[in-house]
Each structure stands twice: as structure tokens, then as C-alpha cells.
Amino acid sequence: MASTALAALAALLVTTPGSAAAAPRFASDGYGSSIAAARNADGRLELFGTDSTGGVWHRRQVSPGAGWTGWEKFDGSLTQVAAQTNADGRVELFGVDRTGGVWHRWQTYAGGGWTGWDKFDGALRP
């Protein structure tokens, strides 16, 4: 069921006909795919996902309640992502890689660009 919801969400978020070719390919069985969203201080949503190869993808609303930008690929390779908005309005993205390493990156200012990935000490174990 979750993989069906993920596929439906990805399909709904294509901004224009023909832009699907540039969109990431989320696994239809849900393996390797993760999706997360957070709200910017100005009300726009930020959407993040991982594809079946570990690619990390991002897109955002152009204004609150409006259309979406195209998908942008972040560097790095993760299997799961989670996002949250800090008290100062900056969105922070967290992720886990295939070895259990935990990474994060954040907006340099509310609604702005992104830092590089920073790795936490240690790793998650299954």
C-alpha cells in the first residue's frame, strides 16, 4: 500500500506534461524508496525522496499552495530520508545510507540554499 501511495504522489507532483522524463524513478515495490516533506517558514512545501539506486531528490513549491519546481538531484546516496523545520524556519533533511551512517544537511537560511552533507558519529545497526 505504501509503495502505491508513493507512486501516486510522485505522479501527482509532475508539474507539466513531459517533465516526468526528468523525474526520479521511485521503485514500484517501495524498496529503496523513501519520501519526506517539510514546510518552509513562508508556507511553501519542500519534498524529498530517494530512488531505487539511492539517489536523493528534491523539489519545492514555487509559492504556498502553487505548482512545483522540477526535481533536483542532491549529491550523496541514501536509503531513507526524513525532514523537519527548525525553530528558525530552516528545513533540515536527515538520511541513512546503506551502511547505517546517519547524515544531515540544512538550509543556509529559511527558504534558501543547502549546505553539504554532514555525517553524525556512529551508525545505526539493524
Identify the residue with better confidence: 67 or 12.
67
Closest-CA residue to 47 (of 89, 14, 21): 14
Question: What is residue 22's predicted lDDT score, i.e. its pLDDT?
Answer: 54
Q: What is the rounded average pLDDT of the residues 54-63? A: 96
Q: What is the rounded average pLDDT of the residues 85-106? A: 97
Does pLDDT of 23 surpass 80? no
Does pLDDT of 70 surpass 90? yes
Residue ranges per structural domain of the chain: 34-115
Domain 34-115 has CATH 3.30.450: no
| Nearest-angstrom CA–CA distance, 63 and 52 | 29
DSSP-based three-state secondary structure for 109 = coil
Between strands 45-50 and 55-60, the pairing is: antiparallel
Identify the residue with better confidence: 86 or 6.
86
In Å, what is the CA distance from 77 to each residue of 45, 49, 107? 23, 11, 19
Identify the residue with better confidence: 24 or 122.
122
Averaged pLDDT score across all residues of the chain = 83
- Residue 95, judged by CB atoms within 10 A of its CB (0-12, 13-18, 19+), counts as buried
Query: Among positive and negative, which fits the CA dihedral 106, 108, 113, 118?
Result: negative
